[in-house]
Chain A
């Protein structure tokens, strides 16, 4: 703020007063429902997950094998040339340990989240997912090899959660 300005507008409220209903206010909970179309590429990806496969799309111009698959290559700005399956193993590109839920509340058992570069796709083609079967999160290393643990076929619905989590691959 400039030293020339003497008064600073804004009437502060206390969070407790709001919580206890002491502040005149109007409450509202908009309920907006959605049916998002998965689209051309994602539909194939979800179908692939149901079959226990990770699907990628390919662009012949730049040569990339892309996960998550898209219908058009955003770098060459043209339609992709095809779809293919890649492996369900990969390496950890980056990871975190979350003690926070989506609504900012605290959770006791942390979620281990990672970006996993998928084997068979082009370099750096990462997928966001959860890590599991890890007793001590301090053991997680950048570049660690991991493998998808799938739900049994009859429980898969064509969702990112058809993969339960990625677990560390044992050495050797």
Chain B
């Protein structure tokens, strides 16, 4: 197709628009158990596959390797370690943040996978890969069964 050189910019027309709609995401069978436990008991659960013995966090209904239903819930507590992290200085629109936010992938002992969350009560320059951290929860009355019921993970004492 021949390309056309257009020097009059007013001839290059654009049409502005948006695609906006509301979403309600059910938590699913496994997700509902995970978040209910966070909301009510302030602890993090994993799910164990009977066949291969792997414990997955976040927990799922099925083991993706064995394709079997996971049968056991495992209490992983609230303590983990920083597997990797990053520091964000701008927000989703590219605007500079007042305070940088530290995001980390936190792994738990004897479990596969991990939770992506924020780190708090620590300066970005102090964060080290492998450092032990623990979850800081909102007061129970404020929890709604959401990932933000955990405010952040802080360095363990």
Interface residues of A (CB under 8 A from B): 11, 13, 18, 23-38, 40, 42-43, 46-47, 71-72, 79, 158-159
Within 8 A of A (CB), among B1-27: 1-2, 4, 11-27
Identify the closest chain A residue to B23 (Cβ).
A28
Q: A72–B11 contact, CB under 8 A?
A: no
Q: 14 A-B pairs, CB-CB below 8 angstroms?
A: A25-B26, A25-B27, A27-B22, A27-B23, A28-B22, A32-B18, A33-B17, A33-B18, A37-B14, A38-B13, A38-B14, A38-B15, A43-B11, A159-B15
Stretch in contact with the other chain, from B28-36, B41-49, B80-88, B117-125:
B28-36
Tell me whether B146 is interfacial, beta carbon within 8 Å. Answer: yes
Identify the closest chain B residue to A50 (Cβ).
B13
For B14, give its contact among A11, A25, A35, A71 (CB under 8 Å): A35
Q: B146–A26 contact, CB under 8 A?
A: yes
Identify the closest chain A residue to B39 (Cβ).
A24
Q: B12–A23 contact, CB under 8 A?
A: no
Interchain CA distance A23-B32 in the complex, whole Å: 9
Q: A35–B1 contact, CB under 8 A?
A: no
Query: What is the count of residue pairs linking A and B with beta-carbon distances less than 8 angstroms?
Result: 73
Set of chain B residues within 8 Å of A31, measured between Cβ atoms:
18, 20
Set of chain A residues within 8 Å of B23, measured between Cβ atoms:
27-30
Tell me whether B145 is interfacial, beta carbon within 8 Å. Answer: yes
Q: B4–A40 contact, CB under 8 A?
A: yes
Identify the closest chain A residue to B16 (Cβ).
A35
Interchain CA distance A13-B32 in the complex, whole Å: 13
Q: B145–A24 contact, CB under 8 A?
A: yes
Q: A24–B18 contact, CB under 8 A?
A: no
| Minimum C-beta distance from B147 to chain A (A) | 8
For A29, give its contact among B4, B14, B21, B26 (CB under 8 Å): B21
Identify the closest chain B residue to A37 (Cβ).
B14
